[in-house]
Structure 1
Amino acid sequence: MLTVLSCIAFEHDPIFVVLAVLILTVGAALSIHLYTRVRRTQGALKYMWLLLCGLIAGGAIWSTHFVSMIAYESPFILGYDPGMTAVSLLVAVSGTTAGLLISSLSQRSALIELGGLVFGATIAVMHLIGIEAMKVSGFLTFSTPFLVTSVILSCVFGMIATNRVARPTTRFCKYGAVLSFMLAVASMHFVAMAGVEVVPLRLDGGVKDLVSNQLVGIAVVFTMAILMLSALITYSIDSANAQDADNKLHYMAHHDPMTGLPNRRALDRHLEGLLSRTGNDNARVVVMNCNLTRFMEINEVLGYSGGDALLRHVARCLSGNLDPGEFVARLGGDEFVIVGKPVYNRGYILEFCKRVQALVSRPMTWQDEEICIGGSAGYAIYPDHASSGGQLLEAAERAMRRAKRDGGNTAVCYDADQDQQTRDRSALAMDLRNALKNGEFELHYQLQNNVVTRDVTGTEVLLRWNHPRRGKVPPSEFIPIAEENGLIPDIGAWVLRTACLEAASWQTPLKIAVNIAQMQLSDGKFPKFVERTLKRSGLDPARLELEITETGIIADTSQALQIIHQLKRLGVGIVMDDYGTGYSSLATLQAFPFDKIKIDRDFVKDLGLNKQSEAIVKATIILAESLDIPVLAEGVETEEQLCFLAAQGCDEVQGFLFGRPMPVDKIRQLVAGPEANRSVDATAGKTDKIRFVSQVA
């Protein structure tokens, strides 16, 4: 360390050292500022900023070196080789550009530090070429420890410089990057020069075509001045253009006429300018999408004037109470977007979300009544969740929709995994539209048995989907999607037609039970469809049972009752499915002519474990007996459950105790032979004797 300080103090002209430091400081500050812009920019503009950054950084390194060499006081220096001097400038510019390019390719990976390593190594290579360009009356000797140390320091400080820009922890990290840049150059030059010694051979100098110190100094200062002036002009033009765009945004006055808030176009402009400015400061920006809870209900009760008054009330609460630097816009309807100010810590984001929710929830007085409302909010963070304003708004909107699905009145952060699940669900919905056409559905059949005799009394028809890429998709996954997308009528019609055709071919006349969705039951043409299906298949109507849930008939009781009576006149059976999970009202049992009641599996699975479930099962069986309606229990898996149901007087059961749902080829084998005892494998792997009923009850 003393040797290095001695070299600086006694072997360098202090005036030129100060000039070198000045050039290095300005060049480092400009380079880091431009490099930050490079990391925040995408597309062709990114490489334009990168080229300018490489020119400034390489020029600063090259200029600092040769000004420092001019400051090096030695009577043996004859001049500089112009060719090698030019090569050193080319190496400095190209090497730093390459290093900064590598470092800007990634947001998080080790490429950041690798680019800094290339950057530091370029300083070392340029220094050695610059030393080679210097001609002396004698020859130079290098101290290996000093040279190795200088190269290591240059590379380490180069890595720190890119690390502080790419991985900031405070707003002051960019100043640390500038300091690291300067130390990388200074340590390389002064530590290496401290170990340089000139061994004189002659003093007259006989080398021709060399450039003197004075000319090198003029060339260096002129080159660096041009580069810095170009950078300043370019950056000034860019800043002026950005400011001009902001001014035009204010003059355009694109605001929502209802609330006076900025509209979508103003929001886009604001985000564009904000993210452009934030890109140079490594800050985070939060965007929240807030949708009012129960707004449609309030709009219907208060009328359009009341709904408009509520929107203006929310707009005043938001715009009048946000902090400086925060921004609010209305996109339409009851959808508001609030943009936070650039910050460096996540504590602000949580406080921001709570404050916005509190502002939205402020009550409004309307015609002497206090109207309260909440908000479902979703938020996304730049650059964590998106790299542009449009992507940020889309992410916040997706989070808001998830908040509404979760019940509302809460703020939910954007989750890429949740978003992927939504995309997968949408993709599944698209595939579901073609599943029927592509023949991807198949039917499975689960046996229904008499409790006492264990005779097979019928089968329930179950739908399965064999997806070409995903394999077997569970009904619990694709049935809700089919309901949401209006595909149930077509799928349900296929199930009924296929099941009737299949059952009509069986030698053993077992009953089949087919589930009917609410959309089918609300269709006035459904009874005619069932009648045509029975005629075309040749199936005895007495062998067909249609299973409906109470939630499927509660929406329009009169319409459902009318359709059920039409179905009953065809001779088919009507079964109440999943009894106990819906309203389970006595009025429903009294009003509708059910031929059977199915107790839901959720109650059966807890028999012997839960007294409440046992009480519900007992009460259901007693109620059914009093109404003279047979009872079938679903989900029977153990002998203990079967014995309990038999003791209570249950008529039929269905479950894994008598076998899992089987495909059509297996059910055909099971019912193809003469009426005799046949064995089927039970779930536990044992073999039970299953007898078929020869007559349909």
Structure 2
Amino acid sequence: MSIDPSPPVRLLPTVSIVEETMRQARRAVAFALLGAALLAALLLGQHQWSSVALQQAADRHAMAHKLVGEVRVADQQLALAAQMAAITGESHWIDRFDKLVPELALAIEHASLLAPQAVAASYRERTAEAARLQARMNASAAEALKSGAFESARALFDSERYVAQSRLLRAATEELTQASLTATEQEVRSLRHAALISTAVVLGLSVALGAVLWRRLTNGLGRSRGSLLEAEERVQRLAASDLLTGLDNRAALHDAMQALMGRARRHGEGLAVLMVDLDRFKPVNDRHGHMVGDLVLKEVARRLSRCLRTSDLRARYGGDEFVVVVDESEGPGSAQGAAERIVERLGWPMQFGEIAVNIGASVGIARFPHDAVSDDELLRKADSALYRAKQAGRGTVCLYDPLLDEALAERHTLEVALREGIAAGQLVPYYQPIVDLHTRQVRSVELLCRWKHPERGLLGPDRFIQLAEDTGLIGPLTMSLLRQACKDLARFPAHWRLSFNVAPQQIQDENLVPALLAQLRDAGVPPQRLDVELTETALVNDTARAREVILALKRAGMTVTLDDFGTGYSSLSYLAEMTFDKIKIDRSFVRTLGSRPESAKIVAAIVGLSRSLAVDTVAEGVETEDEAEMLKELGCKNGQGYLFGRPGLAKDVGPLERVPDADAWALVD
């Protein structure tokens, strides 16, 4: 498997859906508005055109009415003026006659424009000759009147020819004006009919376009609604899911637990909550980075899904903690079996490319309704059980016990006090000598720790070191202690060396070696005077990292000791793989030297192995002279224990060059 983590679930797709939804809605509304504007324009245009056309037609019809009257009046006035001029001979009648002739011609011309072209053309053809003859006769009559020949003018006006021409012209003019009137009336009717038709067409188009617009709008809004529902569903899913692992998150877990507890209560059944915490995850994260840490968490989620029933609820509670809710309708063994499978599967090695990772899991179990009846209380009690599992040595399963609440409260109080104590300098260095078994000369001192608690007094490491490791305070505690110890070491005899233990969690700290060198540099102490002790637990957690740290320590000039040798896992393999400068024989072998022959054989074997590897040995827990003598006989070179001195302050250790007997250093622990 290559280290190519899939990208975490992001909210961007949901945001894109919402944006696309808004775009669809905007397009639908814009299309609807555009269509509405087009409909309005069509209706307005049709109304405007109809109004203008009808108004113009009405104006022409009114003009035709007016022209009919004007032509008739002008014709009558012209005939009257001609008769009066012929009878009276008065000049103003002649002038009146001359004025009426062009007015009548102009009115006829206007009527011709309003009449159909065929009627106007026919009128001109029919009246052209008569109009010319009448015009000549009018001119002759006018000349006669002007010359005083009234009888001649009267005779001309009364002649059959003049009367015939006048009658012809009058009849043709009447037809023309009536034709223009009829034409304009027909135009008005046609326009009204056309307006009705166009209105109906526009209304029909409007209805059709409106239907299209409505369908487009409803479809667009329907798609928008669907997209919004999809986005809402996605948001709800994201809100209920852990983005990294895809499991339920804490909020979804509480909702699901309440529902499951309600159902179990109705059916009289039970549930079990399993609080799962990963062992050794923080060192992996610190060592390999968050990318590998994320891969580990996703692999954990995958393994949980595979080793549990589909009906079992799985959630990531936060960090490296997971929660499993198991239905115990088939019996209380379901939870225990599930927890054991989880511990087994999560203990299998993980491989990411060239990176091998070994973690584990501890599980705490609380049951509903036996231990608690609310989701919060059930989770709290499962966490209490998990704390007990962690204390039991990790990789274990523990059930909730009411006594755990008191222990957890005490642990929390002590954790807060420890955090404050480190900052306040309440953690003080104590030293225990490591001596040459043959000369009893002090060769080095081991750095130990005591806590001067302001209320509880002087506390030994058994009260707080494991707590510091569990809570991540071991690093700050060690550096605070080492800072003081390096200053003391600068005042100790120059040939003394300082041994101190590095916790397994600190192995993963990339800054471990630089931080140690900085402490030594600040105190003016050479690195060769510092001896770093590693337990086999630190080695087995991450062998590759331990090898790197050992090499870095030795390159920096420090020495490395394998602590508690013989009690761990594959001690011989570690000696073969890693170069140690010293081996500490565990106190369990020293304590039984006189009572168990096997212990003496084991110590002799360890000493022989050390000699072959050119490595010094130190026997821990030497309390009697008999033990010291036996160790010397077996070839062990150095010893440490109450026989040579109890842990003490720097002021008590500094003057001590040699431990002559068991009572030389009776310091109070």
For normalisation by structure 2, the TM-score amounts to 0.48
Structure with greater helix percent? 2
Instruction: Name which structure has the greater RCO, CA cutoff 8 Å, separation 6+.
Output: 2
For normalisation by structure 1, the TM-score amounts to 0.47
